[in-house]
Amino acid sequence: MERISWNQYFMAQSHLLALRSTCTRLMVGATIVRDKRIIAGGYNGSVSGDVHCVDEGCYVIDGHCVRTVHAEANALLQCAKFGVPTENADVYVTHFPCLQCTKQLIQSGIRTVFYAEDYKNHPYAIQLFKEAGVRTEKVELDYLALDMNYKEKTSLITELLQLVDDKNSSDVAALKEKAQELFHLTR
């Protein structure tokens, strides 16, 4: 049996952390790793004890939700809170870091940023990483799939099976379009 690679393993951890996100705009997870050991993890969510975006909506100013603490910052703050050094550690993030997180990662001594998806990769963030000698590497999660739409898929299949029994063709066309969107199928 072939074992999952370290990069895939740590990226999967970040995707699992993202499932705890309370921001409705983008679910992000971050895992900080040193010597192949997880030292911290974070996801984007509200300040402890405050309301969450999932409860009251995002608090958007100038196109950004200001209610949430980003996943990278939460992971770094967890290290600071418990006295865990981040010098020469790596971070695995589900999305390319924003400009503010880029600066925080550099200042904390992170040596490599592994990310799964491009997300508004700011040119200045890319420049700062290069100037600071922080390596960035895209690592898409391909070893296993985290199905974020399993409930919708189950519901869709149940509806399709019912329609097949009913043989109602106009409803089948609408469900086919829904399935194409959900499964990212080309038309």
Other beta carbons less than 10 A from residue 118's beta carbon:
9
Question: What CA–CA distance (Å, rounded) separates 116 from 94?
Answer: 5
Q: From its phi and psi, is residue 6 left (phi > 0), alpha (psi between -120 and 50) or beta?
A: alpha
3-state secondary structure of 29: strand
CA angle 126, 130, 134 (to 5 degrees): 100
**What beta strand segments (E) does the chain contain?**
29-34, 37-43, 45-46, 60-61, 64-65, 68-69, 90-95, 112-117, 135-138
Who's near 169: CB < 8 A, 6+ residues apart?
none
| Beta-strand relationship, 112-117 and 64-65 | unpaired
Residue numbers annotated as active site: 72
What distance in Å separates the CA atoms of residue 113 and residue 9, rounded to the nearest whole number? Answer: 15
